[in-house]
């Protein structure tokens, strides 16, 4: 039972499934947990090894290969996911990496029954994206290409993050729409 172990998330391939634990889990959404997932999935900096004691660092694997092909990248990415318990921060970290570092459009689909916590999940994702962006900016882009280097462009990026965070009422409006059956 996942909830008995205070693990409300389950990974099914590239999909994160959330279950309602029916109580607050201390530390589940802490800044330390946010940083753990950002380090693991965005900047490939891991302090811990996986639960079985093995450790696969994609950054060192990539540096050994002159030709980085998509099949190899996909395999490395799958092993990288297995090193850390599933969490919604995995999804937001990978979306940020795809958008900011790989410059590819991203979409996150949050679906579920009425009252399942979709709106709260979107708020958690948006908050994590803002947190990641602030870390990247504070660290001189934290290894990403997000920070442009000029004060004017960095200010524009900050405005974008604020607009994203202020979009929560729009998501809330959709979340409060009545479902007809």
pLDDT per position as a tens digit, 132-167: 988 887 766 544 444 445 555 556 666 766 777 677
- Tokens matching residue 18: 């959330």
Give the residue with greater pLDDT, 96 vs 57: 96
Work out the pLDDT band at 175, boundaries 50, 70, 90. Answer: low
Please name the helix (run of DSSP H) or strand (run of DSSP E) that holds residue 31, with its range, or none: helix 31-41
Residue burial 155-167, b: 16+ Cβ < 10 Å; e: rest: eebeeebeeeeee
- pLDDT at 52 > cutoff 70: no
The reported pLDDT for the residue numbered 53 is 32
| C-alpha–C-alpha distance, residues 23 and 21, integer Å | 5
What are the two backbone dihedrals, phi and then psi, of residue 10, each rounded to the nearest 5 degrees? Answer: -135, 135
CA gap 43, 142 in Å, rounded: 7
User: How far is residue 109's CA from residue 174's CA, in Å, rounded to a whole number?
Assistant: 14
Residue 133, pLDDT score: 86
Helix (H, G, I), strand (E, B) or coil at 9: strand
Predicted local distance difference test score (pLDDT) of residue 45 = 73
Report CA torsion sign: 110, 115, 117, 119.
Answer: positive
Q: How confident is the model at residue 9 (pLDDT cuts 50, 70, 90)?
A: very high
């Amino acid at each position: 039972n996942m909830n008995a172990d205070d693990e409300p998330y389950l990974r099914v391939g590239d999909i994160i499934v959330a279950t309602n634990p029916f109580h607050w889990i201390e530390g589940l959404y802490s800044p330390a947990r946010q940083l753990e997932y950002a380090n693991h999935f965005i900047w490939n900096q891991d302090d811990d090894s996986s639960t079985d004691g093995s450790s696969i660092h994609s950054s060192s694997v990539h540096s050994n290969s002159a030709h980085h092909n998509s099949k190899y990248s996909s395999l490395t990415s799958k092993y990288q996911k297995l090193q850390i318990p599933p969490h919604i921060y995995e999804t937001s970290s990978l979306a940020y990496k795809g958008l900011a570092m790989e410059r590819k459009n991203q979409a996150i689909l949050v679906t579920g029954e009425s009252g399942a916590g979709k709106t709260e999940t979107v708020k958690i994702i948006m908050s994590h994206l803002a947190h990641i962006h602030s870390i990247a900016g504070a660290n001189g882009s934290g290894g990403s290409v997000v920070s442009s280097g000029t004060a004017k462009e960095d200010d524009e990026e900050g405005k974008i993050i604020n607009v994203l965070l202020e979009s929560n009422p729009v998501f809330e409006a959709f979340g409060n729409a009545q479902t007809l059956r």
